[in-house]
Amino acid sequence: MSRQLITFQLGDQYLGVDIMAIREIRAWSPATPLPNVPSHVRGVVNLRGVVLPVLDLRHRLGWGMTDPTARHVIIVVRIGEQLQGIIVDAVNDIVTVQTEDMQPLPDMGDTAAQQFLDGLATIDQRLILVLALDRLVERAAMADAA
């Protein structure tokens, strides 16, 4: 069995998201900040009448804050019943990964990034970190409730 991923970059890191979760890829547009939200929520944007929360994925993974420029991209994904935007540096391509080619994450303790990843895949000599979108938001909701 295989899985198709959209790959993208955060700095020098390559990540992938299941293609079925992607709704659209749009150019960067500034988000309107909201009060009292987690620091990785950059605000909201209007997507054809739908208010879309925008997450700073780099910050959510513990890799620092993104300083968005015109070259950044928002990937609109469906997580559960809600559309969310995630800020990335660049979108690369669509790849097909065979299930047997997916590697589990090595055990390195309870790191923030590890909580949000499904596994690793090697494509054309590049290591792709496969993002677990459901955990990206679930943990945010749990952290907010605490």
pLDDT for residue 96 = 93
User: What's the one-letter identity of residue 137?
Assistant: V
What pLDDT is recorded for position 1? Answer: 84
130-146 as b/e: b if 16+ CB within 10 A: bbebeebbebbeeeeee
So what's the pLDDT on residue 101? 83
From the centroid of its chain, how far is CA 11? 13
**CA distance linking residue 143 with residue 146, whole number of Å:** 5
pLDDT for residue 100: 82
Distance, in Å, from the CA atom of 72 to the CA atom of 89, rounded to the nearest integer, reads 5
Token pair, residue 7, equals: 């790959």
- Strand 2-10 and strand 13-18: pairing? antiparallel
Six token digits for residue 31: 């988000």
Q: How far apart are CA 116 and CA 79, in angstroms?
A: 13
Per-residue pLDDT of the chain (146 residues; tens, 9 = 90+): 889 999 999 999 999 999 999 999 999 999 999 999 999 999 999 999 999 999 999 999 889 999 999 999 999 999 888 999 999 999 999 999 988 888 888 776 666 667 888 899 988 888 999 999 988 875 444 444 33
